[in-house]
Copies of this chain bind each other. A is one copy, B any other.
Amino acid sequence: MDFASFIGIISGISLIVAAIFMGGGVDSFINLPGMMIVFGGTLAATLTTFQMKDVFSAIKAAAFVFSEEKKDPNDMVSTMVELCTLTRRQGIVALSKLDVESDFLRKACNLIADGTKEDLMRDTLNIEIESMKQRHYIIQDIFKKMALYAPSFGMMGTLIGLIQMLNQMSNPETVGPAMAVALLTTFYGMLLSTLLFNPIAGKLRARTLLEVISLEIVFEGAISILQDNNPLMVYEKLSSYIPAKLRRPMQQRMMTGRNIG
């Protein structure tokens, strides 16, 4: 569970609900047709804007964003340094027998073991990273667009309410409550945009940045192994991705390449 997101969403909704309760009943803030216009309209415009499979991926990603998944870049640095040590001892063919979890790392290992030339390997791995970035970007973009559409549908709901109210202004006593109902959709739109869609887009971007760093460590490490750099240099280069304070010192263990597999 991503603790920050959990606290953020819960406390944000609590604050809004508390503010509503302090000023009177919560009844006047619930309006089903208004919710349908804002939420349904946003979803409708989003489906029109994107491809259906991307919208499904986005919904899955939104659920995923709140599940904590610790990925310490230090681990990836250690792994690459160990792989470097391993190849220096047992040759590059050793990489083809390894059982690694990450698709990207496995591809890099196979390419090295197959004796791929540096240029081709750079191209291949770069295409992987860029394609991944672009796919993630589309998912973030879906939530960014939803954050734009929601307030628009909120305002459209308010306009519909106002126009209906102005046409039936015979009874001045109903003007207040009618206008209150009209304003509700604007409120819904802003709430969805500010407390849900924008934050999800932001969190997804943070995830992408982390994942890209991880892939770049593999990329630069693989190039270094191909160039037969020594493990110390590989460690110096790859640890540069990590802030100095959080860097794990190079362990002797790494130099002997024992804990892979």
Contact = CB atoms under 8 A, between A and B. Distances in A.
Interface of A: 2-5, 7-9, 11-12, 15-16, 18-20, 22-24, 28-29, 33, 36-37, 40-41, 43-52, 54-55, 103, 107, 110-111, 114, 116, 120, 123-125, 127-128, 131-132, 134-135, 138, 145, 148-149, 152-153, 155-157, 159-164, 166-169, 176-177, 179-180, 183-184, 186-187, 190-191, 193-195, 198-200, 202-203, 206, 209, 213, 220, 229, 232-233, 236-237, 240-244
Given A8-B44, A8-B48, A49-B202, 18 more contacts: A4-B55, A8-B49, A9-B48, A11-B43, A15-B41, A16-B160, A41-B195, A48-B199, A50-B203, A116-B233, A120-B233, A123-B237, A138-B206, A149-B198, A160-B187, A162-B180, A163-B180, A169-B176
A111 B148 CA distance: 46
A159 B145 contact: no
A23 B160 contact: yes
A183 B159 contact: yes
Contact of A19 (B22, B125, B157, B229): B157
B40 A15 contact: yes
A232 B233 CA distance: 31
A199 B16 CA distance: 27
A223 B20 CA distance: 62
28 contacts: A3-B52, A4-B52, A7-B44, A7-B47, A8-B48, A12-B40, A12-B45, A15-B41, A16-B41, A19-B37, A29-B160, A45-B195, A103-B244, A107-B236, A110-B236, A111-B236, A123-B220, A123-B237, A124-B240, A127-B240, A131-B242, A134-B209, A145-B202, A148-B198, A149-B198, A155-B190, A156-B190, A159-B187
9 nearest A-B residue pairs (beta carbon): A8-B48, A12-B44, A49-B202, A8-B47, A48-B199, A4-B52, A166-B180, A169-B176, A127-B240
A47 B195 CA distance: 10
Q: How many copies does the complex hold?
A: 5
A229 to B, nearest CB: 7
Contacts of A240: 107, 124-125, 127-128, 131
Contacts of A37: 15-16, 19
